[in-house]
Structure 1
């Protein structure tokens, strides 16, 4: 129940032994959640919520209703290795600089990297940082031992052989970095200076480019500051044209490294009501459609704009990997309001599963099954098929269910299900015979038709299905769409007899090329109506005569012929 208008809440933080107001709220639950979020970020020693009640006499009464203190930090920073379950097999020094190796390094050395605020790319391209890491007690040897054990289990090699190889590669990488440092390169301030410094780099161009970028980035010991520097370079790159394309790809890798830090993600997103909301925000950011939350830095907007351009391929992957890991994990999606756990889960699922596919593909689909199984743990141990069925029931329409199953087929869980998953998918597709079983009626006809067309394309593109199954299921979707066109009189509504012929013809041809129809029965229905018009005697004369403004008649006829060619008519 909402509080009376004479009650408000202050969220206060302890700063230099004084309580300072961080924000105000009208809702007690939101105030408590916001205070908890501030404390979890670790930037404040204590937080509290104060209820301010204004009496009829105008006087205010303040009551502390929540006060929490952060756990004290004892000893030095915890620089132990984080657990990793697998590691990519490295065969040459070049493999150590690849995205897979850097992400593994970032996860395993997370505590150390966050303590020194250095990304894996910076670590591997700076002789000083490599030496600094090597001098941290037994950390380097422990890391090599951990990775060599994982790699040996994958490759079948002897563990000692792997350890010796990794140690040798580390030494070679350090020697390579020292060679660059010995040339005493000038620290660049702009992307133009970076590119000028590597003009004669030859085969070493990417390494030298990253080495110069690292010199500049190491001057900033904050993740947000590093991102701001990269955003500045990216802005330069847009003005420089194609010559900056390779540099943008290198910047993408550094951004991916930085986004691998959970600490950075918390700072970047600002206030989030719960984990579910944070996962939706990360998904939006990965697609360049994010909205900055309260207390989010301006960096969020710049990064979101860069994601929207599509150049941050590796950065997008890192964000979506984090979404999948968190969604499939054990942490509550709605910690402060447990009763909303299922609702928040469904919201995240519908953010990831759309009519055109699943954001994060197989990893996201499998994570949803794990989350649903966790939510329904009260039912006892669930089999995979049961958990998948419960996940399907949580999705709102048939197209989303089909897209989910197609994505799950790419994941280890789906591959393990084998024919069982194919049978489940076939049953869902063939059992839906009307548009209402595929897409809810609340959506408009264009959205409903586009959803079915997307499902058809996804089925035909699924490498996990055999060709006969793909064709059978895709054909059924096409037949459903064709039946919808006939039952709803869609083509008749577009081709109104009372409208001028030119308008009718152009509308029809645009409908054929709109992408909401399927190459097959549904598209053929619309094409047949166009051909019917084209075959009538003196079509062009009638077309020209029907244009309201005679001076524009030829222009519209040329446009019509252009559309004919674009949509495949001859």
Structure 2
């Protein structure tokens, strides 16, 4: 039994709930981080909670710091609150996806009213002038972004960033005006836009924008982009089309209309995940656009749009909006359903950031009392909600690579260590109902995932991976798997071929379990007059020599040298 453990959680107040923002093993570091949050002024309150885990596994929580944060003064109502902004080092960076996504969030109200995307704003001289003339909106946006960028760069003085953004805006406008001066013609299709661009990326985007501005609805723009993607010219220039479609996935109303009827937030988020994987079925009232996008996702042609949509999924999961607003009693069930959609034995959809979001949501939902529970306790509840040992291991390994996982430190690695050490039988790792090849393949995949985890120490990984190998050896021995493959009553040729294929099938762990099967093969090979007996046992003796040559090739292919 492990000794007592102490950790510190930095929690912030969001929608009347305490949400974990950071974890630390040191009280002073936790308090310093809490002070930085208080100074930022983005939350109404912050606190540091000391979590003490006794030897018996029970937890005691003590609030060691709590601060109420004064509300900020009123800001421009047309600017949304954002917490970060990517750093643009040169002019072309402003046209990039991170910049456009930030613009889409910060200027959401203005863009919705003007019915334009960030791409359209950055390429059309009239739209840029109209935005610049909208009161102090431009200056407020530049001030907000420069402050965030300066803070991220560790520079207390944001004037340099503000001057750079001011100058860059002037250059962006000059480029747009220069394009207009050439008196371009609105392209009738994407092929015309590509031809008219002469290979220049900015000119291609500006020509696209001319056609997009004629569409006065989000779905009008989206459907035109999908039609362009079907053109031969679209297939050759898919990245620029993908970028504008990604812009159109930022407005909440577009997502709502695109998904059709969804019973609750959990169902909507699962539908988005199905969509970006190209596996979605259109819901009631979903437009044809949904099916068309699903086809493009299935073909892997929308990586930027996938990134934007998955970022939305992660924000919603880690946020406080109810998964089942109309029926609060279903909150746990909806989380459980979503959890199993996003986490399986092979991966966590969305990777480490989504694993972190799931734990944050789980810290509220899985506690029957409704309050936020400590991250270690929430993690134990999460593991209990997952289906088997392989799935739990995948979640733990993925969480280890997240920011929250790294901040948990020894708390998380101890949970991982305990999980592997107490799972000594294959039934604790994978469902009994599955056939033996699938069970062995799943355990082998779990072993490989552990051995290749980049954020864990090599000695730690090897010790646990060896324990999983022991589980496989125990399964092979108890179930007589090798004996069932190497049936004594079958001809020698059939037994030898079947054993070698078993070794090369990838269902055994490279270690003691694979060596057990290889030892049986070597035992056959070393018997006297093996080759003569092999040829004689072939179904067609006239093909014996050929079968023997094929067998030797199979040995090499399966790693016998």
- Is 2:122–2:172's contact at 8 Å kept on the other side of the alignment? yes
Call closer, same or farther: CA 1:399–1:173 in 2, change over 3 Å.
same
Equivalent runs, 1:354-433 vs 2, <5 Å: 354-375=344-365, 376=367, 378=369, 380=371, 382-433=373-424
- Is 1:237–1:248's contact at 8 Å kept on the other side of the alignment? no
Call closer, same or farther: CA 1:552–1:307 in 2, change over 3 Å.
farther
Structure 1 position 194, deviation (Å): 3.6
- Is 1:191–1:237's contact at 8 Å kept on the other side of the alignment? no
Task: Determine which of 427, 449, 463 is the counterpart of 1:436.
Answer: 427
TM-score (norm 1): 0.77
> Following the alignment from structure 1 to structure 2, what is the Cα–Cα distance between the partners of residues 368 and 168?
42
Structure 1 position 535, deviation (Å): 4.9
114-123 or 533-542: bigger deviation: 533-542
Does the alignment pair 1:490 with 2:485?
no
Does the alignment pair 1:122 with 2:112?
no
Structure 1 position 356, deviation (Å): 0.7
SS of the counterpart of 1:354? coil
- Flag the structure with more relative contact order, 1 or 2, with Cα contacts below 8 A and sequence separation at least 6: 2
- Is 2:503–2:517's contact at 8 Å kept on the other side of the alignment? yes
Structure 1 position 527, deviation (Å): 3.4
Unaligned runs of 5+ in 2: 1-75
Call closer, same or farther: CA 1:401–1:339 in 2, change over 3 Å.
same
Does the alignment pair 1:131 with 2:129?
yes
Per-residue Cα deviation, 1:269-300 (whole angstroms, up to 9, x for no partner)? 11111111111111111222111111112222
2:319 aligns with 329
2:454 aligns with 463
- Is 2:426–2:471's contact at 8 Å kept on the other side of the alignment? yes
Call closer, same or farther: CA 1:567–1:383 in 2, change over 3 Å.
same
Does the alignment pair 1:163 with 2:162?
yes
Structure 1 position 353, deviation (Å): 0.8
Structure 1 position 343, deviation (Å): 0.9
Does the alignment pair 1:249 with 2:216?
no
> Following the alignment from structure 1 to structure 2, what is the Cα–Cα distance between the partners of residues 197 and 541?
74
Call closer, same or farther: CA 1:333–1:433 in 2, change over 3 Å.
same
2:306 aligns with 316
Call closer, same or farther: CA 1:102–1:508 in 2, change over 3 Å.
farther
- Is 2:191–2:234's contact at 8 Å kept on the other side of the alignment? no
1:144 aligns with 142
Structure 1 position 545, deviation (Å): 6.3
- Is 1:79–1:112's contact at 8 Å kept on the other side of the alignment? no
Structure 1 position 229, deviation (Å): 2.8
Task: Determine which of 76, 79, 84 is the counterpart of 1:86.
Answer: 84
453-462 or 418-427: bigger deviation: 453-462
Per-residue Cα deviation, 1:132-152 (whole angstroms, up to 9, x for no partner)? 322333222221111112112
Per-residue Cα deviation, 1:139-166 (whole angstroms, up to 9, x for no partner)? 2222111111211222215223222211
282-291 or 481-490: bigger deviation: 481-490
> Following the alignment from structure 1 to structure 2, what is the Cα–Cα distance between the partners of residues 121 and 534?
68
> Following the alignment from structure 1 to structure 2, what is the Cα–Cα distance between the partners of residues 236 and 505?
54
Unaligned runs of 5+ in 1: 1-77
Equivalent runs, 1:57-96 vs 2, <5 Å: 80-96=78-94
Equivalent runs, 1:523-534 vs 2, <5 Å: 523-534=514-525
SS of the counterpart of 1:107? helix
> Following the alignment from structure 2 to structure 1, what is the Cα–Cα distance between the partners of residues 110 and 543?
70
> Following the alignment from structure 1 to structure 2, what is the Cα–Cα distance between the partners of residues 231 and 408?
36
> Following the alignment from structure 1 to structure 2, what is the Cα–Cα distance between the partners of residues 239 and 403?
38
1:178 aligns with 177
> Following the alignment from structure 1 to structure 2, what is the Cα–Cα distance between the partners of residues 297 and 83?
31
> Following the alignment from structure 2 to structure 1, what is the Cα–Cα distance between the partners of residues 213 and 531?
69
SS of the counterpart of 2:455? coil
Aligned residues, how many?
484
CA RMSD in angstroms comes to: 2.9
Call closer, same or farther: CA 1:215–1:492 in 2, change over 3 Å.
farther
